[in-house]
């Protein structure tokens, strides 16, 4: 054999050795329908098998976890109906010999491309959401439709994750359930929506069950949110950290802007709110809830329980009822340093056994400024007030420039239409006969609020909000009327609300 031939064979062998040592790409392995996983050329998800392969590659830490941090795009509708072995992307393998389970998180970019992913169901693995755990990732343009699942629609646990333009429609059921996510820390959630039903045994939230240090903007929920039974009687602490809310069960150190709920919130337990069940050290700006809230105790139009939280330019329109105690038009129980600024509450009634108020059932050391309380009826037995049902005078509440509808009926053993804290009565004309072009009532800036376009009543919604289906409050245009229980406008209009909000989201998406 010549020296030239030997050199050529050696070179070929060396090349084969080098190629053999290179990692096999997913495209080479036939995992996906194309692409190379880069931002410019993402892997293509076009079939249920592609999605299953992504789950397998991430959850089995294939090629030392390289698939967790790449880019993927859905290129066709994905129907997961009948696939019972689905395992969410990013499930931890507890049998793997490592203490660093975050290696199984999804760290990449998943672009749903507005293609519907339907029929996701079952209880395999850690529940049947699309993702189990993500960190440092981007999830965008994901449409989950016709989902019947446990625990969560989109993702169970998210850390430092950006979630944009995602939607969920269907039904969820579990012990503690969030519509889009179960738990999120240091995340951003923008332009997302949930329609359908979210039911938890102990706690539930339309967007998320629990959020910490997270920013939420332009999100909408049109759904029935329920938790069927109270927490097990194993002490006060556990009961104190769970909640049920139209948007969230429990938030801490979060900023929520231009986000709205339309539907019903019901719980057999405590801490029930139109926006959030429990809120600690949060800021809610230009948010609203239109629907009824019902729970055992600590029930509020905006929040069931709040501590060191500010609500600015927010509204609630509906009924509030606590089967036991502490219910309020804005907040059920407001612990120190809760602020309500340029907010209003309107609807049929706020009711409970004791500690019932148009502003809050129980409030300490807070601030109420430039607000209106326009409920028809405040009802209870003890500590019933058009303003604050129960207050500890050692930590007084500061109320400025706030009005109560003068024809409100307050009923209870010690219930009076009181004007404590310097609140003033407002007439029907003050809140009704306002030309739409003026932008609304006094102290409500036309730069933030807009008039609802209806002939039957005059209410305001923040200018960023979609058209909301509001309860019937025509009583505001009459003199004092005997109280009649105002039935909820949901679920009769709930379906219409859902279609309207969904149409708004599709219109906004198409304009992008």
3 state SS for 188-243: EEECCEEEEEEEEEEEEECCEEEEECCEEECCEEEEEEEECCCCCCCCHHHHHCCC
Candidates 40, 147, 139, 47; CA nearest to 89 is 139
pLDDT score for 204: 94
Residue 291 β-bridge partners:
263
Give the H or E element holding residue 132: strand 131-135
Candidates 35, 23, 96, 113; CA nearest to 70 is 35
Residue 369 β-bridge partners:
341, 400
Q: For the chain, 512 residues long, give each residue's pLDDT as a single digit of tens.
A: 555 444 444 444 444 333 333 334 444 456 899 999 999 999 999 999 999 999 999 988 888 888 988 999 999 999 988 887 888 999 876 666 566 667 789 999 999 999 999 988 755 444 568 999 999 999 999 999 988 776 678 999 999 999 999 999 988 888 888 999 999 999 999 999 999 999 988 899 999 999 999 999 999 999 999 997 665 554 443 444 579 999 999 999 999 999 999 999 999 989 999 999 999 999 999 999 998 999 999 999 999 999 999 999 999 999 999 999 999 999 999 999 999 999 999 888 999 999 999 999 999 999 999 999 999 899 998 899 889 999 887 888 999 989 888 888 887 644 445 556 678 888 877 776 665 555 567 778 888 888 776 655 677 888 888 777 777 777 777 654 443 333 333 333 343 444 444 454 554 555 55
Residues 114, 142: Cα–Cα separation, whole Å: 6
Taking CA atoms, 230 is separated from 204, 225, 303, 469, in Å, by: 12, 15, 18, 30
Q: Is the separation of the CB atoms in 296 and 325 below 8 Å?
A: no
Phi-psi region of 108 (alpha: psi -120 to 50; beta: other; left: phi over 0): beta
pLDDT score for 126: 46
Residues 247, 227: Cα–Cα separation, whole Å: 14
Contacts of 435 (CB under 8 A, 6+ apart): none
For 153-179, b/e burial (b = at least 16 CB within 10 A) is bbbbbbbbbbbbbbbbbbbbbbebbbb
CA–CA–CA angle 51, 503, 116 (5° rounding): 10
Candidates 315, 273, 261, 318; CA nearest to 297 is 273
Candidates 161, 164, 142, 162; CA nearest to 153 is 142
pLDDT score for 140: 97
Burial of 113 (0-12, 13-18, 19+ CB in 10 A): middle
Contacts of 101 (CB under 8 A, 6+ apart): 92, 93, 94
Cα(first)–Cα(last) distance of the chain, in Å? 68
Contacts of 334 (CB under 8 A, 6+ apart): 303, 305, 306, 307, 328, 360, 362, 363, 364, 366
Give the H or E element holding residue 26: helix 26-29
pLDDT score for 512: 54
Helix (H, G, I), strand (E, B) or coil at 59: helix
Residues 129, 123: Cα–Cα separation, whole Å: 9
Burial of 367 (0-12, 13-18, 19+ CB in 10 A): middle
Candidates 474, 471, 466; CA nearest to 492 is 471
């Amino acid at each position: 054999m010549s020296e030239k031939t030997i050199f050529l064979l050696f070179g070929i062998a060396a090349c084969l050795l080098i190629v053999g040592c290179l990692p096999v790409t997913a495209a080479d392995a036939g995992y996906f329908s194309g692409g190379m996983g880069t931002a410019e050329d993402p892997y293509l998800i076009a079939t249920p098998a592609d999605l299953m392969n992504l789950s397998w590659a991430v959850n089995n830490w294939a090629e030392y976890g390289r698939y967790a941090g790449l880019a993927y795009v859905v290129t066709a509708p994905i129907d997961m109906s009948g696939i019972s072995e689905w395992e969410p992307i990013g499930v931890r393998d507890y049998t793997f010999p490592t203490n660093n389970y975050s290696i199984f998180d999804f760290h990449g970019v998943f672009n749903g491309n507005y293609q519907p992913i339907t029929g996701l169901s079952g209880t395999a693995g850690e529940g049947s959401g699309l993702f189990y755990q993500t960190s440092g990732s981007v999830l965008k343009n994901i449409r989950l439709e016709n989902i019947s699942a446990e625990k969560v629609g989109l993702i169970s646990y998210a850390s430092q994750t950006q979630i944009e333009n995602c939607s969920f429609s269907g039904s969820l059921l579990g012990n503690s359930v969030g519509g889009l996510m179960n738990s999120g820390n240091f995340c951003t959630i923008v332009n997302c929506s949930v329609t359908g039903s979210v039911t938890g045994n102990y706690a539930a939230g339309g967007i998320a069950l629990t959020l910490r240090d997270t920013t939420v903007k332009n999100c909408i929920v049109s759904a029935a949110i329920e938790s069927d039974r109270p927490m097990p009687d194993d002490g006060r602490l556990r009961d104190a950290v769970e909640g049920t809310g139209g948007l969230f069960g429990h938030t801490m150190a979060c900023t929520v802007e231009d986000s709205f709920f339309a539907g019903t919130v019901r719980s057999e337990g405590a801490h029930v709110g139109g926006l959030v069940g429990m809120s600690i050290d949060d800021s809610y700006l230009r948010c609203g809830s239109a629907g009824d809230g019902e729970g055992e105790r600590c029930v509020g139009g905006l929040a069931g329980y709040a501590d060191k939280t500010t609500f600015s330019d927010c509204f609630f329109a509906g009924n509030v009822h606590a089967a036991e105690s502490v219910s309020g038009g804005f907040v059920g129980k407001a612990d120190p340093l809760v602020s309500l600024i340029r907010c209003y509450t309107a609807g049929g009634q706020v009711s409970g056994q004791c500690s019932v108020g148009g502003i809050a059932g129980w409030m300490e050391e807070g601030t109420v400024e430039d607000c209106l309380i326009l409920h028809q009826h405040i009802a209870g037995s003890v500590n019933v007030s058009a303003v604050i049902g129960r207050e500890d005078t050692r930590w007084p509440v500061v109320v400025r420039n706030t009005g109560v509808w003068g024809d409100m009926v307050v009923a209870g053993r010690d219930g009076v239409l009181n004007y404590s804290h310097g609140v003033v009565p407002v007439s029907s004309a003050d809140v009704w006969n306002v030309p739409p072009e003026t932008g609304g009532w006094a102290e409500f800036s036309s730069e933030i609020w807009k008039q609802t376009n209806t002939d039957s009543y005059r209410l305001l919604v923040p200018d960023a909000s979609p058209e909301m289906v509001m309860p019937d409050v025509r009583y505001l245009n009459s003199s004092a009327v005997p109280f009649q229980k105002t039935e909820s406008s949901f679920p009769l209009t709930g379906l219409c609300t859902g279609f309207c909000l969904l149409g708004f989201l599709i219109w906004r998406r198409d304009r992008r």
